[in-house]
Structure 1
C-alpha cells in the first residue's frame, strides 16, 4: 500500500531531531531521518518554513553556543549596525542637504543666466534698431549731400550767368561810351536818333541791371539755403556721433554681461565638481560601513572561536579532575590493601583516620563549566 504524502509535522520533527544531535538540517539529512521517503521538492519548502520559524535554534545548534552568548553577540552586532546606520543616515542627510543647496544655487544661477540672456537679446535688438536708425540717417545724409552738391552746381551756374551778365553790362557801357563820342560828333545831325538810341540802351541797361539784381537775390537765397543745409548736416553729424556713443556703450554693456555669463558658467562647473566630491565621500562612507560590518562579522567569528577554546579548556579541566580523583581512589585502595596484608584495619585507628581524611579530600562536585 502506497504511503500518504509527507506532512509538515514529519519534516519539523526530523529537523528538530537533527538540530538536537548537532547536525545540519539539510534536505538530504531530513529525508534520511524520515526513512528516505518524500521528494526533495516537497521537503524543501517545508524545511525552509521550519528554518524560518526556528532560526535562533538553528543558529545556536550551528555554532554550539549558549543562547545567552548568542544574544550578547547579537546585541553587539545590532549596536554596531545601528551605529553604522546612524552614521550613514547622517552622512546621507548631509549629502542630501548639500545636493539641495547645490540645486538651489544652480537654479539661482540658471535664473541669472536666463535674465542675462534676456538682457543680451534686448540689447542686441536695441543695437540692431540703433544700427538701422544710423543707416537711415546715413542714407538721409547721403541724400542731403547729393542735394547740396546739386545746389552747389546750381550756384556755380548762377555765378557764371551773373559773370556773363556783368560782362555784357560792361560791354554795353563801353559801347554806350563809344556811341556817346559818336553822338558828340554827329549831335546836330542825329540828335533825335541819338536820343532814341540812348533811351533804348538805357532801357536795355535797366533790364540787365534788374536781371543782375534778381540773380544776386537768387544767389543769396541759395547761400541761405546752403547755410541751413550745412547746419542740418552738422546736427545730423552730432546725432550720428551720439548714436555711435550709445552703440559703444551698448557694446561695453554686452561685453560685461558676457563676462558675467562666463563667471556664472565657472561657478556652475565648480558646483558640479563639489557634487562629484560629495558623491565620492558618500561612496567612501559606504565602504567604511561595509568594513565595519565585516569587522563585526570577524568579531562574532572570533567570539565563537574563543567560546570553543573555553569549552575545550573546561573539558580538559574536567578530565584532569577526574584523573586526580581516580588516582586518589587508587592510592587509597593500594594503601588499604597494604595495611590489610599486614594487620587488621580496625586495630589501627591512625590508619583508619588517615583513610577517612583522604576520602573527605576527594571532590564531590563537578567543576563549573
Structure 2
C-alpha cells in the first residue's frame, strides 16, 4: 500500500497533466508532478493499473471511447473524401482547361498558319502588283516617247503639207498669170493684126511671121501649162496621200491616247489595289500580334492552374497525414 497516501486518482491526474503539457510520462516525471511524494513502486503499480484500464476501455465496444474513435475515423475519412473530391474536381477542371487550351492553341496555330499563308499570298500579290506597276510605268514612258515622236512627225508632216500648199498656190498663180498673159497677147495680136490688115497690106507677111511666132509661143505656153497641170495633179495626189497619212496618224494618235487613258486607269486601279493590299497586310499583322498576346495569356492561365493544382495536392497530402495521425491516435494504446 502507499505509505505516503498517494492514490490511484492522484497518479491519474498527474499523468493527464503531463499528457496535456506534452511531456513524456515516466516514473520520475510523475513523482515530480506529485510533489516528490510516494514511492516508485507505488507510482509504478498505479500507473500499470491505469494502463490496463485504458487498454480495457479501448477494447470494450460498449464504452464511449469506441464512439469517439468511430467519430474521429469518420471525420478523418470525410476529410479525406472531401480533399480527394476537391483534388479530383481541380484535376477535372485542369484537364478541361488544358483541353480547352490545347484546342485554343491548335486553333490559334491553325489561324497563325492561315494568316502566314495569307500574308505570303498578299506579299506575292504585292510583289506582282509592284512588277505590274513598274511595267505599266515603263509602258507609259514608252508611250510618252512614241507620242513625242508622233507629235514631231505630225508637226513635220503639217510643215510639209503647208509647203506643198504654198507651192501649189504658187503654181496656180503662175498658171493664172500665164493664161492672162496669153489672153492679153491674143487680144493685142488680134488688134494689131486688124490694124495691120487695114493699114498695111504689105505687112501681111510680117504679121503672119509674127503670128507663127506667137503660135509657137502659145504652144510653148500650152506645153508649160500642161507641165504645170501635171505638176498640179502630182502635187494634188501627193496632198491626198499626205492627207490620208495625216488621217491615219490622227487615228493612230487617237488610238494611242485611248490606250494611254486605259493604261492610266489600270495604273490608278493598280495603285488602289496596292493600297488595299497594304491595309490588309497591316490588319493581318495586327491580328497576328493579338493572337500571340492571347496565347501568352492562355499560357499564364495554365501556369496559374498548375500552381493551384500543386497547392491542392499539398493540401491533400497534409490532410492525409492528419488522417493517418488521427487514425494512429485513435487505434494505438496510450503509452
Shared fold (TM-score greater than 0.5)? yes
Is 1:124 the counterpart of 2:137? The answer is yes
Which whole-Å CA distance do the structure 2 matches of 1:205 and 1:87 have between them? Answer: 118
Q: Is the 8 A contact 1:183 1:194 kept in 2?
A: yes
Is 1:270 the counterpart of 2:280? The answer is no
Is 1:100 the counterpart of 2:113? The answer is yes
Which whole-Å CA distance do the structure 1 matches of 2:236 and 2:194 have between them? Answer: 42
2:201 aligned counterpart, secondary structure: coil
Paired position in structure 1 for 2:292: 279
Q: Is the 8 A contact 2:197 2:204 kept in 1?
A: no
Q: Is the 8 A contact 2:108 2:291 kept in 1?
A: yes
Map 1:307-346; keep pairs closer than 5 Å. Answer: none
Which whole-Å CA distance do the structure 2 matches of 1:149 and 1:288 have between them? Answer: 90
- CA RMSD across the alignment: 3.4
Query: Kindly tell me: are residues 128 and 178 of structure 1, through their superposed partners in 2, closer, same or farther at Cα, counting changes over 3 Å?
Result: same
Which whole-Å CA distance do the structure 2 matches of 1:187 and 1:174 have between them? Answer: 19
Please state how far the C-alpha of 1:150 moved relative to its aligned partner: 0.8
Please state how far the C-alpha of 1:232 moved relative to its aligned partner: 1.0
Paired position in structure 2 for 1:115: 128
Which whole-Å CA distance do the structure 2 matches of 1:251 and 1:269 have between them? Answer: 27
Q: In structure 1, which of residues 193, 213, 230 is the aligned counterpart of residue 243 of structure 2?
A: 230
Which whole-Å CA distance do the structure 2 matches of 1:311 and 1:190 have between them? Answer: 175
Please state how far the C-alpha of 1:89 moved relative to its aligned partner: 4.5
Which of 225-234 and 204-213 deviates more?
204-213
Which whole-Å CA distance do the structure 2 matches of 1:193 and 1:279 have between them? Answer: 124
Q: Is the 8 A contact 2:161 2:239 kept in 1?
A: yes
Q: Is the 8 A contact 1:80 1:296 kept in 2?
A: no
Which whole-Å CA distance do the structure 2 matches of 1:113 and 1:161 have between them? Answer: 70
Which whole-Å CA distance do the structure 2 matches of 1:235 and 1:107 have between them? Answer: 48
Please state how far the C-alpha of 1:93 moved relative to its aligned partner: 3.4
Please state how far the C-alpha of 1:304 moved relative to its aligned partner: 6.8
Paired position in structure 1 for 2:210: 197
1:189 aligned counterpart, secondary structure: helix
TM-score (norm 2): 0.64
Is 1:148 the counterpart of 2:151? The answer is no
Paired position in structure 2 for 1:170: 183
Write the deviation string for residues 253-293 of structure 1: whole angstroms up to 9, x where unpaired: 22222222222222222211221221121122122123223
Q: Is the 8 A contact 1:113 1:261 kept in 2?
A: yes
TM-score (norm 1): 0.59
- Give unpaired runs (5+ residues) of structure 2: 1-79
Is 1:135 the counterpart of 2:144? The answer is no
Q: In structure 1, which of residues 203, 206, 209 is the aligned counterpart of residue 222 of structure 2?
A: 209
Which whole-Å CA distance do the structure 2 matches of 1:126 and 1:367 have between them? Answer: 106
Is 1:244 the counterpart of 2:257? The answer is yes
Which whole-Å CA distance do the structure 1 matches of 2:204 and 2:264 have between them? Answer: 88
Which whole-Å CA distance do the structure 2 matches of 1:202 and 1:304 have between them? Answer: 149
Please state how far the C-alpha of 1:366 moved relative to its aligned partner: 5.2
Please state how far the C-alpha of 1:78 moved relative to its aligned partner: 7.9
- Give unpaired runs (5+ residues) of structure 1: 1-68, 319-364
Q: Is the 8 A contact 1:109 1:268 kept in 2?
A: yes
Which whole-Å CA distance do the structure 2 matches of 1:96 and 1:249 have between them? Answer: 44
Paired position in structure 2 for 1:57: none
**Paired positions, count:** 251
Please state how far the C-alpha of 1:295 moved relative to its aligned partner: 2.5
Q: Is the 8 A contact 2:136 2:267 kept in 1?
A: yes
Task: Give the structure, 1 or 2, with the largest relative contact order (CA under 8 Å, sep 6 or more).
Answer: 2
2:202 aligned counterpart, secondary structure: coil
Please state how far the C-alpha of 1:235 moved relative to its aligned partner: 0.9
Which whole-Å CA distance do the structure 2 matches of 1:89 and 1:224 have between them? Answer: 89
